[in-house]
Structure 1
Amino acid sequence: MAQILAPTSQWQMRITKSSIPSSPMTGKMWSSLVLKQNKKGAVKSSKFKVFASKYEDYTINRVEGLLNLDLTPYTDKIIAEYIWIGGSGIDVRSKSRTISKPVEHPSELPKWNYDGSSTGQAPGEDSEVILYPQAIFKDPFRGGNNILVICDAYTPQGEPIPTNKRHKAAQVFSNQKVIDEVPWYGIEQEYTLLQSNVKWPLGWPVGGYPGPQGPYYCGAGADKSFGRDISDAHYKACLYAGINISGTNGEVMPGQWEFQVGPSVGIEAGDHIWAARYILEGDWNGAGCHTNYSTKSMREEGGFEIIKKAILNLSLRHTEHISAYGEGNERRLTGKHETASINQFSWGVANRGASIRVGRDTEKQGKGYLEDRRPASNMDPYTVTALLAETTILWEPTLEAEALAAQKLALNV
């Protein structure tokens, strides 16, 4: 929201009696101020500051009242906030549009356009980019029947622009083999809250470091849980919006939090993560985005063997996955602090220092899911979810490569 500034002193000095609201600045107060000005030729700065403060409060109260105004009783029209991903691949952009009546499906919404040259997505001489509405959520900021609209972007000729990762993901998830396997995703989005004035993590002494990790993970209390009010507000906003958020918790570093989205099926996982990111609009760098994944075959009897085969495939395409799992990931995947080395694929049961972790329950029951711990917090969820499905369902390695990988990974554990 734009910052509301008090009127300049020059403008305020020209205000006439008729232009001042009757509340909270009363006529008596205004007359007193004018009389003092007429008698002494100028307004004392202390008196003027009192008036300016009261007028500013009145302006802010009016704005807040309008922001909270429910339009439903007065009009069928709604506000649709069209949201898309900008040129960096992680920046979120949006703009508003009036729609004549409430809608229930994105197909009811018109396509729209924006200036791609201003977002790093098109040249200035041919800058028009077209937004295709793909998913809708209730708007927790405006309330009523207003909506958030997740869009992807195309050229006027209907070709997906390079930063449109959703298009390829939709192709993968529309493949009949993938549809039949009903891929489930549970995505753990970590983020760090920063102090707005110094860009230093919340709860950290400015320019210094907090005590060692230990008391902060899932911690309770004002000296351990920094930013809980923001996490809770985001949690409720996501539930209101219809995002499939399944939980939240404080992380191992002060000021670091995590929320989980899922289980979600197919392309829905990416849509819900991007909507949740828009509501939070946080800084995701330096944290992870662990992705829990399973197919129908993995969840059925004998599924553990399917999981092992999936892990084998993932080991053979480790480089491809790492290259698509987020920028700056080499600073996180160091082999320390419950991470695997970025250069070496590994897996293990209950091993949080592995590339792929399998839970004890999955091992015990012989079916379940795997957790890919490699994606960075700034990863594109469309890319990660589609790549997991592609590698484990659609891609088949050569027999020689499969045999070599099986021997290397010792999948008979």
Structure 2
Amino acid sequence: MPKYKLEYLWLDGYKPVPNLRGKTQIKHFDRFPTLEELPLWGFDGSSTQQAEGRSSDCVLKPVSVFPDSTRTNGALVMCEVMMPDGVTPHPSNARATILDDEGAWFGFEQEYFFYKNGRPLGFPESGFPAPQGPYYTGVGYKNVGEIARQIVEEHLDICLEAGINHEGINAEVAKGQWEFQVFGKGSRKAADEMWVARYILLRLAEKYGIDIEFHCKPLGNTDWNGSGMHANFSTAYLREVGGKAYFEQLMSAFEKAKDAHIAVYGPDNHLRLTGLHETASINTFSWGVADRGASIRVPHSFVKNDYRGYLEDRRPNSQGDPYQIASQILKTISTVPTR
């Protein structure tokens, strides 16, 4: 019976942004394990800001499992953090309490920067490279370098081999900035896959001596783009019924809930949502057809199809927790009656 390397992953208790953590245990299985076969496992919560030293036990509850092609007999096990009884969700466990609906589909566009020696990959030791323009979907060494392309291609392969619904990659607007997309049906499924894809990227970059910078505006108050995690979403009703009247009520609900959305769309978003660099101001709400400067962008196809299809919320940032982002979107949608 072969030994499997199970990498248990979880989110720690750091605020405002949790960190991914991981540790490995070895178990015997005669084939790749199912989720139901994976045991609970403990860890020291006093080292992850999830417990005090005098009572440090926390429990990891597996919630999804993915093949890990980088290891022989490897598995990536996404977990929820539980209290010592193994039943009660830990206060830091956002996944356990979010709204979920398998009929709600989410596509996250994760932007990030590669960093080397404290600056974006490809930036000179002092000053800045040539202005933004040629980098977005760029080709050629002067635009995207060599190592970044190698990492994103490896990341894509590992995610696909894991069964993660990775949907694409592209170089982004700023030098050293890239994006990948993940799609899932249901809040928990989509968010699980995004967190595991983030983990794979962080771990992969280790061997290249490169850091992944998820901060939404790492270059501060400069004329360089920040990083978002645009959330594309639809519900069964939006896809199958829709209609202009329903859509207008939905946008009214999103406007009323503006502050609740911003509260969970990632820290420091005021640095990114300035009304410049293809973003709406953090203090306003707007929607527009094919408008990259709107809070919610509506595709032409959505309008032509009698307001049926998907919408894109452009406000979530690259550090946002996809569990909370998807849940807040569903909360707002749930306030609008369907006929």
TM over 0.5: yes
1:345 to 273, 285, 303: 285
1:359 to 299, 320, 324: 299
Percent sequence identity is: 43
Q: Secondary structure at 2:128's aligned position in 1?
A: coil
1:87 to 5, 8, 13: 13
Partner of 1:245: 166
CA distance in 2, matches of 1:290, 1:138: 27
CA contact (8 A) 1:92 1:278 kept: yes
CA contact (8 A) 1:105 1:135 kept: no
CA contact (8 A) 1:298 1:304 kept: no
Partner of 2:317: 376
Cα deviation code 1:126-152 (max 9, x no counterpart): 111110000001112204x32000001
Alignment of 1:22-171 (within 5 A): 75-88=1-14, 89-101=17-29, 102-143=31-72, 145-157=73-85, 158-169=87-98
Aligned-residue RMSD, C-alpha: 1.5
Q: Secondary structure at 2:107's aligned position in 1?
A: strand
- State the one-letter code of the partner of 2:333: T
Matched, 1:184 2:114: no
Partner of 2:230: 290
Matched, 1:200 2:119: yes
Give the alignment's TM-score, normalised by structure 1.
Answer: 0.73
Cα deviation code 1:235-274 (max 9, x no counterpart): 1111111110000000000110000001433311000000
Which one is further off, 247-256 or 101-110? 101-110
Alignment of 1:200-349 (within 5 A): 200-226=119-145, 227-281=148-202, 282-286=212-216, 287-349=227-289
Structure 2: runs of 5+ lacking an equivalent: 203-211, 217-226
Higher strand share: 2
Distance change >3 Å, CA 396–CA 368, structure 1 → 2: closer
Moved runs in structure 1, 4+ residues, more than 6 A?
Answer: none
Give the alignment's TM-score, normalised by structure 2.
Answer: 0.88
- State the one-letter code of the partner of 2:234: S
Deviation at 1:160, TM superposition (A): 1.6
Structure 1: runs of 5+ lacking an equivalent: 1-74, 398-413
CA distance in 2, matches of 1:370, 1:243: 22
CA distance in 2, matches of 1:308, 1:339: 21
Distance change >3 Å, CA 129–CA 304, structure 1 → 2: farther
Higher helix share: 1
* Number of residues of Structure 1 aligned to a counterpart in Structure 2: 311
